Amino acid sequence: MTIKELGIFILSLICLISSAPFYFWGWGDYLLLFCIGFLTIIGLSRAINHDLKLKVNTIYGGFVLCLISYTYLTLSGLSIGAILISFLILIVYSIDDYSLEKLFLNFKKIISFILFPAIVLWFIHIILSNNTFLNLGQIRSDFVPNQHKVDIGLYYYYYPFMTIVDYDVPSSFYRFPGPFDEPGVVGTLASLMLCADKFSLKSKMNKTVFLSGLISFSLVFYITFFIYFSLTFHKEIKRNIFYLFVLISLIFLVIRNSFIGSYFNKLIIDRLIFSNGKIAGDNRASVGLENKFNEWMSSYDLQTRLFGFKSVDLEGSSSIKQIFLTTGLVGFALFIAILMMIFFRRFRGEFNIYVLSFLLIFGLSLYQRPDISAVYILLIFSFGVLHLSSTSRFKRF
């Protein structure tokens, strides 16, 4: 393994840590610091050996991006962490196209590797109608990343390759969460990774990721699937007809089972109902956050409008609106600037329907999970823009 390949592997591990699987709960920050330190040493050694070659415009753009990222993350409430995350964003921005391609492939390999045994365990639970099988105990509450869930009385059980929140145990049927804290993470991750690769199911990795998205019963995943195929159906009609047939058949089989069918209706169909000006399933923002956002919208205080409130209790909510509350218009502008700089760094001149579909789906993801401090999100965004705007240059994964 060369020094460059070692650096890519460490970056892959950093991206995995940023996705927050339960394996790293409670100690992931220490491993992250170690990885960043090791990555810095590798970068310095490559620079000394003149093996690290960057164009002047890349260096300049990276400096500007790092400054913008640090400012935004500081406004968001991070301190020392803002420096570290800005450094990681800079690395993902600066690496060459080939390294980015390898980084994405490595990350997807790891994700599919940890998802596959969890999927097997999920099916065993469904067949047994009992998800207490292989329950290894309760995760310490202080290890849970989202402490708001702990505050409202939730806790997690862990299994080999998977974790389940307490209200789903015991249960004969539940949404697939994989090794993450909720099924929505699986749905978001699956939809973004597949969209970045045109929803191709030729590889075993993509099949695993696709299946995990289906059984997560994530509304975002199903909406993503519908949007993507609505926009790109005419590009590969035969393939898409086959996929559509398989999906409809699967949904039909699910609905035919009265118990699972009612569960599917509750999780997907009923949440698609449009009422009171929004989709019923749009529940990422609490009432408190909505009220605070309305307060921000009606505020005449210039500092509040530009930089947000000094203190905001998000109550565990996740919505694009929280950016305005915590960082104001300035923070939102910086947030968009980060994404635009990465887009123009990787865009290769072919703005096709796949790029458009990916941007729409990525925007949908950010609407309900606006977290660019999770480096894996920016990795997928960078690769998706590069891969889809230059389809003749890259193989499918």
User: Exposure of 305 by Cβ count < 10 A (0-12 exposed, 13-18 middle, 19+ buried)?
Assistant: middle
- Name the H helices within the chain: 3-18, 28-48, 56-75, 80-94, 97-128, 147-151, 183-195, 204-215, 219-232, 237-256, 258-264, 287-297, 302-307, 321-346, 353-368, 375-389
Per DSSP, the three-state class of 137 is: coil
Predicted local distance difference test score (pLDDT) of residue 76: 84
Count of Cβ atoms closer than 10 Å to residue 337 Cβ: 16
φ, ψ for residue 203, nearest 5 deg: -90, 155
User: Exposure of 243 by Cβ count < 10 A (0-12 exposed, 13-18 middle, 19+ buried)?
Assistant: middle
pTM for this model (two decimals): 0.90
C-alpha separations of 346 from 107, 189, 228, 295 in Å: 18, 20, 21, 38
* Residue 163 and residue 181 in contact, taking contact as beta carbons nearer than 8 Å: yes
The rounded average pLDDT for each run of 10 residues, N- to C-terminus, in the chain (397 residues) is: 84 93 91 87 69 75 90 84 89 91 95 96 92 93 85 90 92 91 92 91 91 90 87 82 78 67 68 62 66 84 86 72 88 94 90 92 86 90 92 51
Predicted local distance difference test score (pLDDT) of residue 396: 46
* Residue 157 and residue 139 in contact, taking contact as beta carbons nearer than 8 Å: yes
Count of Cβ atoms closer than 10 Å to residue 44 Cβ: 11
From the list 178, 161, 15, the residue with the least C-alpha distance to 102 is 15
Predicted local distance difference test score (pLDDT) of residue 106: 95
* Residue 115 and residue 208 in contact, taking contact as beta carbons nearer than 8 Å: yes
CA distance 187 to 181: 12
Predicted local distance difference test score (pLDDT) of residue 5: 85
Predicted local distance difference test score (pLDDT) of residue 158: 94
Predicted local distance difference test score (pLDDT) of residue 223: 86
Predicted local distance difference test score (pLDDT) of residue 177: 95
Q: How far apart are the first and last CA of the chain?
A: 21
CA distance 12 to 376: 9
Residues 6+ apart with CB under 8 A from 374: 18, 19, 20
Residue type for position 3: I
Q: Per the structure block, which two tokens stand in for 121? A: 């365990």
Give the largest CA-CA distance in the chain. 66
